[in-house]
């Protein structure tokens, strides 16, 4: 699995590629938790290059999602390949995670929510 991150405005864009299974999922969990711990509250996780995800990968996503939520942060996913999208749908994750077709739509959604959040504060 390859994992990388870059900052776009106030959103941390995390790119994940390859396979996310029982071996690689702990790496994902470790890195994302570190970024959350360093104060990143808006995560856009781009799965465009992720070929395969197993239930162990779903676990890592759920655990980091819970961590982020408990700190008041938000995340969304984009660019899922068909095989990964199928797993998200079968497992019910697509119903509880925010998923967008592509990066721009996800960024627009994150920007809107950040704006709403600032207004409500």
- The residues of the shown chain that bind another protein, judged by CB under 8 A, are 19, 21-23, 52, 54-56, 58-59, 62, 66, 83, 87, 90-92, 96
Q: How far is the CB of 64 from another protein (least distance, A)?
A: 12
Q: How far is the CB of 9 from another protein (least distance, A)?
A: 29
**Sequence-distant (≥ 6) Cβ neighbours of residue 16 within 8 angstroms:** 1, 2, 3, 28, 45, 46, 47, 49, 50
d(CA 108, CA 106): 5
Q: How far is the CB of 22 from another protein (least distance, A)?
A: 4
* Cβ distance to another protein smaller for residue 90 or 118: 90
Question: Is 106 buried (19+), middle (13-18) or exposed (0-12) by CB count in 10 A?
Answer: buried
DSSP string, 89-101: HHHTHHHHS-EES
* Cβ distance to another protein smaller for residue 87 or 99: 87
Q: How far is the CB of 8 from another protein (least distance, A)?
A: 28
* Cβ distance to another protein smaller for residue 12 or 61: 61
* Cβ distance to another protein smaller for residue 73 or 114: 73
Structural tokens at position 88: 């998200």
């Amino acid at each position: 699995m390859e994992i990388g991150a870059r900052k776009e405005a106030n959103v941390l864009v995390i790119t994940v590629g390859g396979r996310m299974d029982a071996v690689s999922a702990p790496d994902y969990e470790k890195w994302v938790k570190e970024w959350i711990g360093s104060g990143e509250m808006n995560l856009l996780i781009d799965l465009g290059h992720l070929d395969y995800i197993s239930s162990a990968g779903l676990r890592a996503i759920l655990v980091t999602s819970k961590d982020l939520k408990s700190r008041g942060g938000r995340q969304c996913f984009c660019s899922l390949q068909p095989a990964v999208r199928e797993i998200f749908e079968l497992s019910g994750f697509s119903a509880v995670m925010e998923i967008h077709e592509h990066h721009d739509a996800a960024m627009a959604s994150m920007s809107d929510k950040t704006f709403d959040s600032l207004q409500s504060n």
